[in-house]
Amino acid sequence: MHNALSAQNTKLSVEISMLSAGSHPYRVQERVGQSLLLRACASSTSKREQQLAVAQACVLVFDLGSTTPFLSKRFQDLRLVITDRVVNGAPVWAAVGDLWFMYECVKGHMLISNAGNCAQGKFMALMYNRMQTAGGVSPTYLPSGEWLSMDSSTLPMTCVSAERVWPDLPWVDAPAMRITVVLGLDGDPTMAAALQQLAVHG
């Protein structure tokens, strides 16, 4: 078990290095999006699965942050890119230039945590969204007013003055969170085919 987790952590770290280096940084993400759509368009998938794949393929690369001075510098302007990893039935997004990952945990929340927690799909986060899903969600569908952050991902002075969500736990509401899409598969032939298939479903 330990060796398997170690191998997964190593793979995630290698993915981050590749993402930070490449000459065409988003070609890999485009392929991941195309694969998502192709799998979803297989005859055995439901309309909901196809809709979800289309929504996720529209958000291959995005920036996450608060529109107010609230999050610590490392978390204020995270750029996350989709990977070919799946955790708890949902794609994993990796932060460019850092070892943070957005994934769906065992409780159905999308959260941001480290490689070890991501590999195991644990509900151990530095930030997470209170919305619960099953099998994933597009990041743009996460309610902006439902993000929570821990003291380690929040500016120290802000964290001190912020009201705790629960008295005994270090979670505070992260206000005015926004997700800005940088790259999606809009206009890609695979996306056009997926949308055509969805239109047939009605």
The whole-angstrom separation of Cα 80 and Cα 102 is 8
List the domain boundaries for the chain.
2-201
Q: What's the pLDDT at 5?
A: 46
Whether residue 190 is predicted with pLDDT greater than 50 in this model: the reply is yes
Residue 143 token pair: 């309610």
pLDDT digits over 103-152, tens only?
Answer: 999 999 999 999 999 999 999 999 999 999 887 899 999 999 999 999 88
User: Mean per-residue pLDDT for 53-77?
Assistant: 93
User: Mean per-residue pLDDT for 176-201?
Assistant: 91
pLDDT digits over 91-105, tens only?
Answer: 999 998 878 999 999
Q: What's the pLDDT at 160?
A: 79
Least confident residue range of 76-80, 118-122, 130-134, 198-202: 198-202
The whole-angstrom separation of Cα 81 and Cα 168 is 34
